[in-house]
Structure 1
Amino acid sequence: MNNEWVEITNTTRDVINLRDWTLRDADGNCYRFHNIRIGSRATIRIHTGNGRDTRTDLFQDRRDYVWDNRSDTATLRDDRGRVVDTESWGRRR
């Protein structure tokens, strides 16, 4: 399951603390960030499976896949619940 991930890129010039931000799929599966900082113009991957968190890779420690290959939506919200970014693929039937 570590081959399934979502990438988040900080396109700003500032370091951003993602503490209490969330990443959610269309089915409501939710990953809450802890005290994670993402550097200016840096990218991190949030893997579905198990692993050891690093500066560039975080792991949800799930046993089942989260992201639907046919269609899904990834929504990133800040610590106040405001949508920061969303990405959708495929079509819902």
Structure 2
Amino acid sequence: MEITNTPRTPTGLRGWTLRDNDINRYRLDDLSIGARATNRIHTGNGRDTRTDVFQDRRDYVWDNRLHTATLRDDRSRTVDTETWGRRC
């Protein structure tokens, strides 16, 4: 999953969440996105970098089935959603 910050100023995402349409939720604490930059959120295992963050889950969350990702700010307001895939 990619999150892009389009303004000319960095954005801190403390308290923000990324959810799918199942029961999976990931808090984006300690994540900051630079001005006009993109960060990738991976569900698998890995080592966090400035631009890539790993949820360290054993099973992957995102697949080709009908799925919706919802990004919410620290007040639970929906910032963006993205839907993709097909019904099985």
TM-score under structure 2 normalisation?
0.93
Structure 2 SS opposite 1:19: coil
Structure 1 residues 41-80: aligned runs within 5 Å: 41-80=36-75
Which residue is 1:81 aligned to? 76
Residues 48-80 of structure 1, C-alpha deviations (whole Å, 9 max, x = no match) = 111111100000000001113121001000000
How many Å apart are 1:15 and its aligned residue?
A: 0.8
Distance 2:81 2:87 in 1: 16
Report the alpha carbon displacement of residue 36 of structure 1 after superposing the two structures with TM: 1.3
Letter of the 1:87 counterpart: E
Structure 2 match to 1:3: none
SS of the aligned residue for 2:71 comes to strand
CA distance in 2, matches of 1:52, 1:79: 25
Poorly superposed stretches of 4+, deviation over 4 Å: none
Is the CA contact (8 Å cut-off) linking 2:3 and 2:39 kept in structure 1? Answer: yes
Query: What TM-score results when the alignment is normalised by the length of structure 1?
Result: 0.88
Extract unaligned runs of 5+ from structure 2: none
Identity percentage of aligned residues: 73
CA distance in structure 1 between the aligned counterparts of 2:3 and 2:23, rounded to whole angstroms: 19
Amino acid at match of 2:15: D
